Chains A and B, each alone.
Chain A
């Protein structure tokens, strides 16, 4: 190399440690310290640039003449040897050099994170003005911050689920409480599911409470909850809507005729004597039900009202029985419905 070229090379070693000076024949005459480190053995000096790198963009023939023609343009290259790192580059004619001699400067684009690991690069391998080290710092710092945020999100999500479950749970029986009614029904109606709504009211519960005390009442309610769970499927919903009132939602409904059998079985089980501190509590249940398929446009209020009318008919007919809603029941229940509406 001529004296000016040596001076230039020394300057470039510091300013752009990933540069190379190419002769008109395309051979590497000199390479910066970082590029030399990356290319390893055999020494890069004397090897042909286009045998070391594949030019991906711009797509021009792989010759020195074409390289001279794309001076100043953004180059996209790939190392031919493993790990075939992709690089960015730009080249310019060598000032004061022979015609066709070039200076090329390279950098890792987004592959820098892997490259730093693969080639064990350090701070000293990058130019003082290069922001690569800052970028690596950011990658690490942001990953740590993201990880902490992700953990926080997971914990908040867990807390939200627990809080929601608590808000929808009746503490005495562990069943759903009144707040669950609306979301469960809305979801089924929106999904267009076929379901049955059953309104259950315990018979004689008030007298158990009055004569044997609240502890007996609580015990009876817990037993009722267990029976309701036993007699329904896992996907069905049981809601304690009031002191001794329950709503059961059967979805999906398999055979509507079965609803009468289910109701009969529930009544039979609930009529079994319940023992509390050597005393026997006896209750029963009245049930009214309605089916979503009987409505053109099922709505929560309408279905609840109809189930309630059917329940009223069951009570009126002597308790301990189940009545399925039919429009004819409505006339007899008129006064009752008006009263219930006022309560709600």
Chain B
């Protein structure tokens, strides 16, 4: 798994549960290091070990934690860069949804060895969408849960009111339903193309 994904877990733990919690987690998972390198690639096992050990320590299901990580990536001030890069995808939440098919290609454009699961959006009508997440059959369905958290935070960011539901899935795929109740429900957070991220 790419270092950026493990680094996201590390930053989530550090910013949510504190530095000590991260150091303990790294120790319990036998990482052998205290800081993930965002630009290196790690064995897939490490990512899953981190998630499962964190779930055990926090007594929360892995699915819930994955969702929290997705939300964290968009809403935490330390992740402003991620939020900005996602906001480049569209002017409103519908446009953002329609750009999700391109998300893995967009990620690869920035970091060529960052491989993300394939995303397929189906537009049932202007309010109802479903998003299929396609990854290798050897990966457990945690990515979709992280995506639910991320989409929820992005809807907030655009000021849209949505209902999201992880519908489960079969080997290698997950399905998320997206109901857009109101596109302009609240003000949303500002985004300027030319703003320099802090």
Measuring CB to CB, which residues of chain A are less than 8 angstroms from any residue of chain B? 113-118, 120-124, 133-134, 136-138, 140-142, 144-145, 148-149, 152, 155
Contact = CB atoms under 8 A, between A and B. Distances in A.
Given A140-B81, A140-B85, A145-B110, A133 B39 contact: no
Contact of A133 (B40, B88, B109, B197): B88
Contacts of A116: 193-194
Interface string B58-91: 0000000000000000000000010011001011
B38 interface: yes
B10 to A, nearest CB: 13
Interface in B101-115: 106, 109-111
Nearest to B82: A144
A152 to B, nearest CB: 5
B102 to A, nearest CB: 10
Contact of B39 (A120, A123, A136, A145): A145
A155 B84 CA distance: 27
B194 A120 contact: yes
B81 A144 contact: yes
A120 B190 CA distance: 12
Nearest to A114: B194
Given A123-B193, A152-B39, A138 B91 contact: no
Interface string B30-59: 000000011110000000000000000000
Nearest to A136: B193
A137 B81 contact: no
Contact of A123 (B84, B90, B106): B90
A235 B108 CA distance: 50
Given A144-B110, A145-B39, A148-B39, A136 B85 contact: no
Q: Closest 3 interchain pairs by CB? A: A117-B194, A141-B110, A116-B194
29 contacts: A113-B194, A114-B194, A117-B192, A117-B194, A117-B196, A120-B194, A121-B193, A122-B91, A122-B192, A123-B193, A133-B88, A133-B193, A137-B85, A137-B88, A138-B109, A138-B110, A140-B81, A140-B84, A140-B85, A140-B88, A140-B197, A141-B106, A142-B110, A144-B85, A144-B197, A145-B39, A148-B38, A149-B39, A155-B37
A168 to B, nearest CB: 25
B194 A136 contact: yes
B195 interface: yes
A344 B197 CA distance: 61
A134 to B, nearest CB: 8
Contacts of B106: 137, 141
A137 B110 CA distance: 9
Interface of B: 37-40, 81, 84-85, 88, 90-91, 106, 109-111, 192-197
B85 A145 contact: no
A121 B191 CA distance: 11
Which of B39, B40, B109, B197 is most buried by chain A, counting CB atoms within 10 A of its CB?
A: B39
Given A117-B192, A123-B90, A140-B84, 8 more contacts: A113-B194, A122-B91, A133-B88, A133-B193, A137-B88, A144-B197, A145-B110, A149-B39
A258 B7 CA distance: 59
Contacts of B84: 140
Nearest to A155: B37
B163 to A, nearest CB: 26
Contact of A141 (B39, B85, B193, B196): B85
B194 A121 contact: yes
Contacts of B194: 113-118, 120-121, 136
Contacts of A141: 85, 106, 109-111
A245 to B, nearest CB: 38
A124 B39 contact: no
Nearest to B81: A144
Contacts of A148: 38-39
A134 B194 CA distance: 13
B30 to A, nearest CB: 20
A141 B193 CA distance: 13
B32 to A, nearest CB: 14
A26 to B, nearest CB: 32
A298 B65 CA distance: 67
A120 B110 contact: no
Contacts of B192: 117, 120, 122
Nearest to B86: A137
Contacts of B196: 117
Contacts of A134: 88
Nearest to A123: B91
A117 B37 contact: no
Contacts of B109: 138, 141
Contacts of A136: 88, 193-194
